[in-house]
Amino acid sequence: QWIYLDGEYVTKENAKVSVYDHGFLYGDGIFEGIRIYNGNIFKCKEHLDRLYDSARSIQLNIPLSREEMLEVMAETIRRNDMRSGYIRLVVSRGPGNLGLDPLRCPKASVIIIVEELSIYPEEAYLTGLKTISVSQRRNIPDALNPKIKSLNYLNNILVKMQSNYAGVGEAIMLNSQGYVTEGSADNIFIVKNGTVFTPPCYLGALEGITRNAIIDICAELGFPLKEQPFTMHDVYVADEVFFTGTAAEVIAANEVDGRTIGSGAAGPITLKLLEEFRKIVHVDGYK
Ligand code: PLP
């Protein structure tokens, strides 16, 4: 396995970063997770837009232009002979000293890892996942803006720990006002009486690229969709609940906090959206 690390292609064993890297010391950096489907980098432009916008927002100078980034992504995929899998792009503030000051970090580090993806078994897309809501609150915009896909994932990791403890597949995070925001690494949607709802991102959700793709698919299929705040009550009484994300694609929740959702399996709108999503993943991308 070849990993791109600051201008070089190194093996997994040799892919090491400095203990003074502020990505390691402080979570100072950003990342992207992207799918490769059949040789296509899915929604490549959207992922690079989010990466470069996140960088700009935190004044992180990515030492590669977008064109150069695309070239090294394509080369990393080629060297790993990967037709279908996952690309992780990481840009950290780079090595500095022990102080916080990013001015002490002269050059950002860029890492590209390409790997096979193993997430949910195919039957989970039909049965759905058990989920819970967790007490951990999502950072809301007056903390770290959720548009920034930063390396600070401790909040999400604490959510994952709660879902592990409960033995469920995903968890639902609320913000401090009690509005539903997202999952630990996925966006959330609910369906009620034929209308699809998802929370506005300003409540405290990452603007997921899969989320936006599903919003577009809803428009194409003529499914009414509203970006609107909702609470756990609305989730409990929904006909369908599903999550979206690069790794998960579109996956239903069959149970939330012990309440069965719909028929207790993936509902018809969720399955239709998954089907349409899987039709576009092979074509809508960069080759
Ligand atoms: N929310 C969080 C916190 C995430 O980490 C992710 C995954 O990247 C998502 C949502 C889904 O976003 P996307 O569809 O861009 O993968």
Please list the active-site residues.
149
Ligand 1 atom closest to Cα of residue 47: 15
Out of 139, 187, 212, 274, give the residue to mutate to test ligand 1, the one with the largest number of ligand atoms within 8 Å of its CB.
187
Residue 119 has pLDDT above 90, yes or no: no
ipTM over 0.95: yes
The tokens for 180 are: 């539903």
Cβ–ligand 1 distance for 150 under 6 Å, the answer no
DSSP-derived 3-state class of residue 51 = helix
Q: What is the DSSP letter of 204?
A: T
> Where do the H-state alpha helices sit in 61-171?
66-79, 124-127, 154-166
- Nearest C-alpha to atom 9 of ligand 1 is from which residue? 186
What distance in Å separates the CA atoms of residue 229 and residue 121, rounded to the nearest whole number?
A: 31
Given this model, what pLDDT does residue 136 score? 77
63 alpha carbon – ligand 1 mean position (Å): 24
pLDDT in tens, 128-156: 999 999 987 776 666 788 999 999 999 99
Beta carbons of 282 and 249 less than 8 angstroms apart: no
Instruction: Please state whether beta strands 129-137 and 170-174 pair in parallel, antiparallel, or not at all (unpaired).
Output: parallel
Given this model, what pLDDT does residue 141 score? 62
- Nearest C-alpha to atom 13 of ligand 1 is from which residue? 208
98 alpha carbon – ligand 1 mean position (Å): 30
Beta carbons of 6 and 23 less than 8 angstroms apart: no
Out of 134, 206, 242, give the residue to mutate to test ligand 1, the one with the largest number of ligand atoms within 8 Å of its CB.
206
Residue 287 has pLDDT above 90, yes or no: no
Per-residue pLDDT, averaged over 91-105, amounts to 97
282 band by pLDDT with thresholds 50, 70 and 90: confident
236 alpha carbon – ligand 1 mean position (Å): 23
Given this model, what pLDDT does residue 248 score? 96
Beta strands in the chain (DSSP E): 2-5, 8-11, 29-37, 40-42, 85-92, 109-115, 129-137, 170-174, 180-182, 187-192, 195-198, 225-227, 240-245, 249-256, 259-260, 285-286
The tokens for 26 are: 């402080």
Sign of CA dihedral 34, 243, 118, 281: negative
pLDDT in tens, 12-22: 999 999 999 99
104 alpha carbon – ligand 1 mean position (Å): 30
Given this model, what pLDDT does residue 135 score? 85
Given this model, what pLDDT does residue 265 score? 98
272 band by pLDDT with thresholds 50, 70 and 90: very high
Let me know the angle formed at the C-alpha of 13 by 69 and 21, rounded to the nearest 5 degrees. 60
The residues, ordered by sequence, that sit 6+ positions from 68 with a Cβ below 8 Å of its Cβ are: none
pLDDT in tens, 193-208: 999 999 999 999 999 9
23 alpha carbon – ligand 1 mean position (Å): 19
Map tokens 């090294």 to a residue: 72
- Nearest C-alpha to atom 5 of ligand 1 is from which residue? 185
Per-residue pLDDT, averaged over 172-178, amounts to 93
Given this model, what pLDDT does residue 258 score? 97
What distance in Å separates the CA atoms of residue 159 and residue 60, rounded to the nearest whole number?
A: 27
Domains and CATH numbers, the chain: 2-115 (3.30.470.10), 124-282 (3.20.10.10)
Cβ–ligand 1 distance for 35 under 6 Å, the answer no
Query: Packing angle between helix 209-221 and helix 44-57, nearest 10 degrees?
Result: 130
pLDDT in tens, 35-55: 999 999 999 999 999 999 999
Let me know the angle formed at the C-alpha of 269 by 265 and 272, rounded to the nearest 5 degrees. 100
Given this model, what pLDDT does residue 138 score? 77
- Nearest C-alpha to atom 4 of ligand 1 is from which residue? 185
Given this model, what pLDDT does residue 284 score? 65
Cβ–ligand 1 distance for 156 under 6 Å, the answer yes
The count of C-alpha atoms lying within 13 angstroms of the C-alpha of 100, restricted to the half-sphere facing its C-beta, is: 0
More confident residue, 119 or 29: 29
Ligand 1 atom closest to Cα of residue 212: 14
Sign of CA dihedral 51, 138, 271, 268: negative
